[in-house]
């Protein structure tokens, strides 16, 4: 529920209102958007005090649309949020504005040579960020698990050498501080979308968060996962549609294109798409990348490897350098047709 405050309401009246809400066991989130100052009233049963709140002298209007994800909801923040990654010595990359942002790089950081070569190639082709996993959540405990801290250092060094902020996954709450020291954007993977302790831990950092949809998550569950991060105090969340598990056997996952405009309608948060995990099939990455942008995605996450055939993870869905450069050339005219820049 959101209580829009009357214009020029006094500090004292605001403080009284906050105390009144908190006395009812609810949490408050003070914010302003679109020229309005408002209080998000957060809690399980906010409706019990709705009538009293609506009548409060400091309250101009009560919006109580029945969505459980107050802070993520567009009902509460009507204009689209722009999430800025990087800056402070690095280039600043804005998600949710006019630019379509492409993040590209290997599934996993494997070696210095691999990640530096990839950073150079994707930067030259027009990517704005470098991706690469250092802590890999693998289905089998015998698969390559990532280089850990060394991988983080290599990723950041390679990306920053080419002016690219970096995104990498964090898989455990105890690793958040370490990963946040190296990463410019913290990725929460599909398998951890509902790891609530992890969501709270990234919510307590100053780094923006890329939140991937779980393999069988509904859109409401995805938005409630985003709500965990927002409610923990971190306003910078980017949603990522990365495909869900369906009965289709020819692809690894089914990229849910309808989720993109639906998420943009329900939430003010930027939405990107991952056609690599969304299909698992290299040849399907370019067409689905284009489809996702046409459906309204604010950017893409794409796996690129110098030698997909020998990649330690996700080779079959990785583009090589020339495949990625060709895709970027094709995205230019599409971006213009969509009224966006690349």
> Which CB atom, from 298 or from 314, has the smaller least distance to Mn ion?
314
Interaction of residue 285 with ligand PEP, rule CB under 6 A? no
Q: Which of 116, 264, 84 is nearest to 184 (CA)?
A: 84
- Least distance to Mn ion from the beta carbon of 288, Å? 15
190 binds, options ligand PEP, Mn ion, none, Cβ within 5 to 8 A by partner type: ligand PEP
Site string for ligand PEP, 172-201 (x = CB under 6 A): -----------------xxx----------
Q: CB under 5 A: which stretch of 71-79, 103-111, 194-202, 318-326 binds Mn ion?
A: 103-111
Binder of ligand PEP out of 105, 133, 280, 299 (CB under 6 A)? 133
> Which CB atom, from 75 or from 167, has the smaller least distance to ligand PEP?
167
The three-state (H, E, C) secondary structure of the chain, written as one string: CEEEECCCCCHHHHHHHHHHHHCCCCEEEEEEECCEEEEEEECCCCHHHHHHHHCCCCEEEEECCCCCCCCCECCCCCCCCCEEEECCCCCEEEECCCECEEEEECCECCCHHHHHHHHHHHHHHCCCEEECECCCCCCCCCCCCCCCHHHHHHHHHHHHHCCCCEEEECCCHHHHHHHHHHCCEEEECHHHCCCHHHHHHHHCCCCCEEEECCCCCCHHHHHHHHHHHHHCCCCCEEEEECCECCCCCCCCCECCCCHHHHHHHHECCCEEECHHHHHCCHHHHHHHHHHHHHCCCCEEEEEECCCHHHCCCCHHHCECHHHHHHHHHHHHHHHHHCCCEC
- Least distance to ligand PEP from the beta carbon of 242, Å? 4
Report which residue's Cβ sits closest to ligand PEP. 189
Number of residues that bind ligand PEP (CB under 6 A): 9
Distance from C-alpha of 134 to C-alpha of 146, rounded to nearest angstrom: 5
- Least distance to Mn ion from the beta carbon of 274, Å? 9
Binder of ligand PEP out of 212, 264, 266, 282 (CB under 6 A)? 212
Distance from C-alpha of 342 to C-alpha of 336, rounded to nearest angstrom: 8
Which 214-273 residues touch ligand PEP, going by CB under 6 A?
242
> Which CB atom, from 107 or from 342, has the smaller least distance to Mn ion?
107
Binder of Mn ion out of 70, 72, 104, 107 (CB under 5 A)? 107
Asked if 214 contacts 191 with a C-beta cutoff of 8 angstroms, the reply is yes
160 binds, options ligand PEP, Mn ion, none, Cβ within 5 to 8 A by partner type: none
Interaction of residue 277 with ligand PEP, rule CB under 6 A? yes
> Which CB atom, from 106 or from 203, has the smaller least distance to Mn ion?
106
67 binds, options Mn ion, ligand PEP, none, Cβ within 5 to 8 A by partner type: none
Q: CB under 5 A: which stretch of 84-92, 100-108, 259-267, 293-301 binds Mn ion?
A: 100-108
Q: Return the number of other C-beta atoms located less than 10 Å from residue 204's C-beta.
A: 15
Site string for Mn ion, 287-326 (x = CB under 5 A): ---------------------------x------------
Asked if 173 contacts 197 with a C-beta cutoff of 8 angstroms, the reply is yes
> Which CB atom, from 81 or from 192, has the smaller least distance to ligand PEP?
192
Interaction of residue 156 with Mn ion, rule CB under 5 A? no
> Which CB atom, from 184 or from 314, has the smaller least distance to Mn ion?
314
- Residues at the site binding ligand PEP, with contacts judged by CB under 6 A: 107, 133, 137, 189-191, 212, 242, 277
């Amino acid at each position: 529920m959101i209580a829009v405050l009357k214009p020029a309401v006094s500090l004292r009246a605001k403080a009284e209102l906050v105390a009144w809400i908190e006395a009812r066991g609810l949490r408050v989130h003070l914010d302003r958007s679109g020229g309005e100052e408002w209080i998000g009233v957060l809690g399980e049963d906010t409706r019990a005090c709705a009538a009293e709140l609506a009548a409060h002298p400091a309250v101009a209007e009560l919006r109580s649309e029945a969505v459980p994800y107050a802070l993520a909801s567009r009902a509460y923040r009507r204009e689209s949020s722009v999430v800025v990654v990087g800056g402070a010595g690095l280039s600043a990359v804005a998600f949710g504005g006019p630019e379509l942002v492409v993040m590209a790089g290997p599934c996993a950081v494997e070696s210095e040579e691999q990640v530096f070569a990839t950073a150079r190639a994707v930067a030259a082709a027009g990517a704005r960020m470098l991706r690469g996993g250092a802590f890999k959540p693998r289905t089998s405990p015998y698969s390559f698990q990532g280089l850990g801290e060394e991988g983080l250092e290599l990723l950041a060094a390679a990306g920053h050498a080419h002016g690219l902020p970096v995104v990498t996954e964090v898989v455990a709450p105890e690793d958040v501080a370490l990963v946040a020291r190296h990463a410019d954007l913290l990725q929460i993977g599909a398998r951890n979308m509902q790891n609530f302790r992890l969501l709270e831990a990234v919510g307590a950092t100053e780094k923006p968060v890329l939140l991937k949809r779980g393999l069988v998550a509904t859109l409401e569950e995805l938005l409630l996962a985003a709500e965990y991060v927002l409610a923990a105090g971190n306003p910078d969340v980017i949603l990522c549609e990365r495909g869900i598990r369906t009965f289709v056997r020819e692809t690894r996952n089914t990229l849910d294109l309808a989720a993109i405009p639906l998420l943009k309608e329900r939430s003010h948060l930027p939405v990107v798409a991952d056609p690599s995990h969304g299909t698992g099939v290299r040849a399907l990455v370019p067409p689905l990348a284009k489809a996702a942008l046409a459906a309204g995605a604010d950017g893409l996450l794409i796996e690129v490897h110098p030698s997909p055939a020998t990649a330690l993870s996700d080779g079959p869905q990785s583009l090589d350098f020339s495949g990625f450069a060709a895709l970027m050339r094709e995205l230019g005219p599409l971006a213009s047709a969509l009224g966006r820049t690349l």
